[in-house]
Amino acid sequence: MCGRFALTLPTDAMAALFGAIPANDLPIVPNFNICPTNNVHVVWTGENRRLSAMRWGFLPFWYKTPTDGPLLINARAETIAEKPAFRAACRERRCLIPTTGFYEWSKGSGGERLPWYIQRADKAPLVMAGIWQDWGEDKLPTCAIVTCAANQAIAEIHHRMPVVLEQADWAKWLGEGGHGAAPLMRPAGEDVLRFHRVDPKVNSNRASGPELVEPV
């Protein structure tokens, strides 16, 4: 799964990287501790590519309030095309969620939660596959991260991981490059990511600062 991540790339750099028009209400960066229900940066395609803010926590159209059901921050690749909450978005509203890296937790010998920071080995922005949907009368934009089974390296920490998209696949995932996005929902190659242990203070959603991603 993916339940927390960081983003340090400046807005103008993101807009240039994705060839997207930035909105005026984007979240402040850098942010080293992005949590569920926060607004996050999302790249999607309308008439043009857009870089917008969306609530991390997908809201199905039948939710009467944001807390009407489970908090849907992730969508499983294996069932996304079948689940009523996600299947329309999977066909019609796919997006890119840029990050610098994401956090995952393993269990220590005493059952304690041990945090790890995972980033690209080449230090390029790590782009996750997502889906989005407007919700309610006010059309609140919401999104979820698509996850898949972990590759062998990440499985040492957790059995799930976000779908990591290479730049050559961005257009196809966004629906700009024709059909056939399903094969992109696979684990990253074994040499794509690297990870290191970080301080347990990131276990708190109130923690902040660049020290959260420093190795310990």
In contact, 177 and 167? CB cutoff 8 Å: no
Query: What's the CATH code of the domain at 81?
Result: 3.90.1680.10
CA–chain centroid gap for 130, Å, is: 6
In contact, 75 and 87? CB cutoff 8 Å: no
155-171 pLDDT, tens digit each: 999 999 999 999 999 99
Q: How far apart are CA 42 and CA 194, in angstroms?
A: 24
Examine the pLDDT at 216 and tell me if it is beyond 90. Answer: yes
Range of the domain at 135: 5-213
Q: How far apart are CA 38 and CA 21, in angstroms?
A: 21
Q: Are strands 21-22 and 49-56 parallel, antiparallel or unpaired?
A: parallel
Burial class (CB in 10 A: 0-12, 13-18, 19+), 216: exposed
Q: How far apart are CA 112 and CA 134, in angstroms?
A: 38
For residue 51, give the amino acid letter: L
Q: How many domains does the chain have?
A: 1
The helix (run of H) or strand (run of E) holding residue 167 is: none
Q: What is the DSSP letter of 193?
A: E
Q: Please, where are the H alpha helices in 27-159?
A: 87-92
pLDDT, averaged across the chain: 96
Q: How far apart are CA 7 and CA 151, in angstroms?
A: 23
Percent of the chain clearing pLDDT 70 (strictly above) = 100
201-213 pLDDT, tens digit each: 999 999 999 999 9
Whether this prediction's pTM lies above 0.75 is answered by yes
